[in-house]
Structure 1
Amino acid sequence: MAGPLLVAALSAAAPLLAMGFERWPGLAPCALCLWQRWPYWVAAAIALLAAALPPAARRWALRAAALAVAVSGAIAVLHVGVEQGWWPSPLPACQAPGVDPSMSVDDLLRSLAPAPTKPCDEAAYLFGGMPLSVAAMNLIYAVLLSVWTLRQSGSDLGRRV
């Protein structure tokens, strides 16, 4: 039973840590950063559900949680590619807003986002000498957590609750 609860805790830890980095040291998230968090919440919820399921169903629930974490990793691949300039972001929130020359200054000010947003192609780094962006670190974490969760789903087969 500890396996699913640990998966839930480790899945929830990623977006909670990211929110903590918004407060200190004040890293602003971009739209892709925010998208990478949702699959972790889904994985945490599925893993909590898995803790209450019988062993056969728990196995499949943990695999679904691993898939959810892998989705965050896939979004991280997209994000790293945008940061490196390999491809543009598909999200409109990542694009610079266009300005209609016929707009008045008041209309332009009303069209601006209520809070400043960070461009998706501007990499955020936690550690000065480390060449890994936060998106790249999320990619590594997502791969490790999804593989570990898959292993948990296999080792959980023989256990009885």
Structure 2
Amino acid sequence: MRRNVQVLALAGSIGLLLGALAFQYIGGMAPCALCIWQRWPHVVALLGAGALVLPNPVFAMLGAAGAAGSGAIGIYHTGVERAWWEGPSSCSAGGDLSGLSAQELLDRIMAAPVVRCDEVPWEMLGLSMASWNAVLSFGIAALWLASLRLR
């Protein structure tokens, strides 16, 4: 039973990574910086695969930590998209532009990323991709943690 739950958790992280890559490379939806940040913890979660080979709880904890980390970034990203709080200045609109010269404004425009973190490019059932990532990632983390209690 433990192994089945761990395989399901591992498949969840792989599925989320493949889904993100499919949206990017098949769907033509370029990711913003926060979208990329959400992917890296799932790479850490893939280290949980070691639990399938070695019965050491550290691997399951790494899987849980990676998935939960991605979920936390997903919540942060959702807040940026919904204007609950400001996002990184490198990928969000806003900031005080008064007092900038025309050249400084032009420099800022030219340095702005193509894809902004504070816009929702796709949503389903009222949730953005960042929100879905958070929900699913926390579910994956729960699977990893549940596997620690199973025999």
TM above 0.5: yes
Unmatched segments (≥5 aa) in structure 2: none
CA distance in 2, matches of 1:71, 1:85: 21
Aligned residue in 2 for 1:32: 34
In the TM superposition, 1:1-161 aligns within 5 A as: 1-44=3-46, 46-53=47-54, 55=55, 57=56, 59-89=57-87, 91-96=88-93, 101-102=102-103, 108=107, 112=111, 117-127=114-124, 130-155=125-150, 158=151
Cα pair 2:93 2:118 within 8 Å, conserved: no
Shift of 1:118: 1.1
Supply the distance in 2 between the matched residues of 1:100 and 1:147 (Cα, whole angstroms): 51
**1:70·1:142 contact (CA, 8 Å) conserved in 2?**
yes
Name the Cα RMSD after superposition. Answer: 2.7
Give CA-to-partner distance per residue, 1:73-92, whole Å, 9 cap, x none: 00011011001101001x34
Q: Among the aligned pairs, what percent are the same residue? A: 33
Deviations 1:93-135 (A, max 9, x none): 21359775346x8xx49x546xx621111012154xx211111
Q: Which runs of 4+ in 1 moved over 4 A?
A: 96-100
1:68 & 1:41 partners in 2: Cα distance?
7
- In the alignment of these two chains, the number of paired residues is 145
Aligned residues of 2:83 and 2:118 also touching (Cα < 8 A): yes
> Contact conserved, 1:5 with 1:47, CA < 8 A, in 2?
no
Larger radius of gyration: 1
